[in-house]
Structure 1
Amino acid sequence: MIPALVLTFLLATLSAATPPPVFDTDGHPLYTGVQYHILPAAGGGGLTLASRSAACPFGVLQSDHPASLGLPVTFSPALGGGHGRSIDVLVATDLNIEFAAMTICEQSTVWKLGAFDHAVERWFVGTGGVKGSPGRSTARNWFKIGKWGQGLFKIVFCPSICKGCHVLCKDVGIFVDGDTGNRRLALTDSGPLVVQFRKA
């Protein structure tokens, strides 16, 4: 029989080791396989796909229509659901983000950190990533959701699925393209894009 003090310690340790779930705007946990809109907490349009030069794969940006919900996404944690069951999307855990949409591009709509853009000195978030298969070759395809106050969240690029890999760890924010005015998602040191998740 386990002493009460030891049992209390074990339960507290397990509780501390399990990240909390991410919640939607209705207060329900986010689940795998369910579609959600990612909406900026400060207002404005949701997230969508666009190409800066009509080239594939498309980039990820905020819609320029303030009332637009953007395109829905699904989340696929690296740990998987197991036995085909949905699981919670947890804070600060590796996951794929995928637009639930079709494009003219042959590439997937899974989010991926693109190559460094030397012209503007930014890392931009694009698509064309690989879903699943966590490891060194897919490190750029994994993002996390971090907490940002009560009911608010941020998106982070800081993959931990590859032990020993040297990776960037930065928040995802907005970069306004001077040529087009597009609000493109990019890694930032000057403040994240604070978001909420609304079930589609």
Structure 2
Amino acid sequence: MKGTMLAFLLLFALSSQPLLGSAEASPDQVIDTSGKKLRADTNYYIIPAKPFTTCGFVSCFNSGGIALETVGESCPLDVVVVKHNQGLPLRFTPVNNKKGVVRVSTDLNIKFSNDAYDSRCPNHSLVWKIDPFSKEETFVTTNGVLGNPGSNTIHNWFQIEKYEDAYKLVYCPNVCPSCKHVCKDIGIYVYKYREMRLALTNVPFKVKFQKA
């Protein structure tokens, strides 16, 4: 009787534990404005989740999507929020791109589409990266490296996170396990009352993704 009871308790204990090596649930897939899953082989616009108005030194204007601009007349091109329009098309490339889907809380590269080629900085890539050497703030710029995760590319990895009823972009490179302390939201920094630049901030830029 004792042996039977011991066997029963052992079986119950084993059944209540997760199986060794069992697969964890994958993070949720990111959804675009039409309710479809974001894919790595498709171009999208990053647009504000809700239209908003920004006032500069001279006037106010309605803000639109994400585009490229030279701030200070130098290369590489910087990532900015533009006026009135949906901006330039982009692509998202997850660190593990085998299935071609884009998921939240997953390292990915963000790259302006080849259609967004800009002759002002022809020798610089259109892959996003952060510029930790900015004087005012840590801005989002370009000339990053696509793929090749490691210590030499930690400035090139971003993530999409669910935020209220939409999404936000964050800089939090999981490809660098010791870099958790650098995780921060990406928001808008009004640069000298004119350009609205993307930068690491305490207030996230609430966005949605619209198929181009």
User: TM-score scaled by structure 2?
Assistant: 0.80
1:63 counterpart SS class: strand
Q: Is the 8 A contact 2:173 2:180 kept in 1?
A: no
**RMSD of Structure 2 on Structure 1 (CA):** 2.2
The yes-or-no answer on 1:137 pairing with 2:152 is yes
The yes-or-no answer on 1:186 pairing with 2:195 is no
Of the two, which has the highest radius of gyration?
A: 2
1:117 counterpart SS class: coil
Work out the CA distance in 2 between the residues paired with 1:140 and 1:32: 20
**1:164 Cα deviation from its structure 2 partner:** 3.5
**1:163 Cα deviation from its structure 2 partner:** 3.1
Work out the CA distance in 2 between the residues paired with 1:22 and 1:36: 12
Opposite residue 45 of structure 1, the aligned amino acid is G
Which sections of structure 1, spanning at least 5 residues, go unmatched? none
Q: Is the 8 A contact 2:92 2:111 kept in 1?
A: yes
**1:42 Cα deviation from its structure 2 partner:** 2.3
Q: Is the 8 A contact 1:40 1:196 kept in 2?
A: yes
Work out the CA distance in 1 between the residues paired with 2:34 and 2:179: 37
> What residue is the counterpart of 2:44 in the other structure?
36
> What residue is the counterpart of 1:148 in the other structure?
163
Misfit runs of 4+, over 4 Å: none
> What residue is the counterpart of 1:123 in the other structure?
138
**1:69 Cα deviation from its structure 2 partner:** 0.9
Q: 1:112 aligns with which of 126, 129, 133?
A: 129
> What residue is the counterpart of 1:103 in the other structure?
118
Percent sequence identity over matched residues? 41
**1:103 Cα deviation from its structure 2 partner:** 1.6
Work out the CA distance in 2 between the residues paired with 1:165 and 1:136: 10
Q: Size of the alignment, in residue pairs?
A: 183
Work out the CA distance in 2 between the residues paired with 1:62 and 1:163: 31
**Against the structure 1 CA distance between its residues 167 and 56, is the aligned structure 2 distance closer, same or farther, given a 3 Å change threshold?**
farther
The yes-or-no answer on 1:53 pairing with 2:68 is no
> What residue is the counterpart of 1:160 in the other structure?
174
Opposite residue 18 of structure 1, the aligned amino acid is S
**1:54 Cα deviation from its structure 2 partner:** 2.0
